[in-house]
Amino acid sequence: MKPVLQVENITKAYGKGANIYKALNGVSFEVHKGEFVGVMGPSGAGKSTLLNVIATIDSATTGSIIIDDTNIANMKDEQLADFRRDNLGFIFQDYNLLDSLTVRENIVLPLAIAKRPAAEINERVERIAELFGIADLLDKYPYQISGGQKQRTASSRALVTEPKLLFADEPTGALDSKSATDLLENLSELNAKQQSTILMVTHDAYAASFCQRILFIQDGQLSKEIFRGEETRKQFFQTILQELTVIGGDANDVI
């Protein structure tokens, strides 16, 4: 089967001449449809840069990124906008909701942009809100709801278009453990049921334990890859913790 995402030898360099700094230095990997992949690594290893580059938010210095047969490295601004609209979803640590729109309107936004008919929009919004357990909050404003609820709103917004790929950058970073667990359970349920493909950057071993595969990144390069396989979530959590201790003194990061 063809992978949904193919990352080939990408680099991202900052600065010039002798002062050049490579945030990413030759990263290659593949993600197949229906996978829930985590990216881990110590602070400053290049996790977020990697995500931004793949997610078309930033551009790579060299290398190619192929999402579903399309090489996004060669795309123009306009094409990228269309591509994002039709294929990608985003969740961020700080939600990025529009404060002036209600929860419902925030979720509607990407569908409105894609010019879907109103009946379809309504149905999709109700369904996704039900799934994330925010159906009762649809007419509230972002400042009236909790952080966990905001993040579930953001996730609904990201997934309501049924994107080929969902990018999540530390989605649980600002959440308490209960909200984080709820969100992660929702995401993995979606992943299991609807075959959504998710790429999540995190430094939290607990969040990562919901993934099926973890990529470890260090100094801009992939250092290791582990699979959950048949392990339970708890066992996988232990595996990840061990792995983090092996990788280096950065186990502090997970606490």
Taking the complex as a whole, how short is the minimal distance between the CB of residue 179 and another protein, in angstroms?
22
Rounded distance between C-alpha atoms, residue 138 and residue 125, angstroms = 9
Binding test (CB under 8 A) with another protein, winner from 47, 84, 152, 203: 84
> Which residue stretch of 53-61, 63-71, 206-214, 229-237 sits at the interface with another protein (rule: CB under 8 A)?
53-61
Taking the complex as a whole, how short is the minimal distance between the CB of residue 78 and another protein, in angstroms?
5
- Strands, DSSP E only, in the chain? 5-14, 21-31, 36-40, 62-67, 70-71, 88-92, 165-169, 198-201, 213-218, 221-227
113 binds another protein (CB under 8 A): yes
Taking the complex as a whole, how short is the minimal distance between the CB of residue 99 and another protein, in angstroms?
8
204 membership: H or E segment, kind and range = none
68 within 8 A of 87, measured Cβ to Cβ: yes
Taking the complex as a whole, how short is the minimal distance between the CB of residue 122 and another protein, in angstroms?
9
149 binds another protein (CB under 8 A): no
202 binds another protein (CB under 8 A): no
Rounded distance between C-alpha atoms, residue 181 and residue 159, angstroms = 18
Nearest to 208 by CA among 223, 193, 228, 191: 228
Rounded distance between C-alpha atoms, residue 103 and residue 142, angstroms = 6
Please tell me the count of residues contacting another protein according to CB under 8 A: 29
Residue with smaller CB distance to another protein, 104 or 228: 104
Binding site for another protein (CB under 8 A): 52, 56-58, 77-78, 81-86, 88, 90, 92, 96, 98, 100-101, 105, 108-110, 112-115, 118, 121
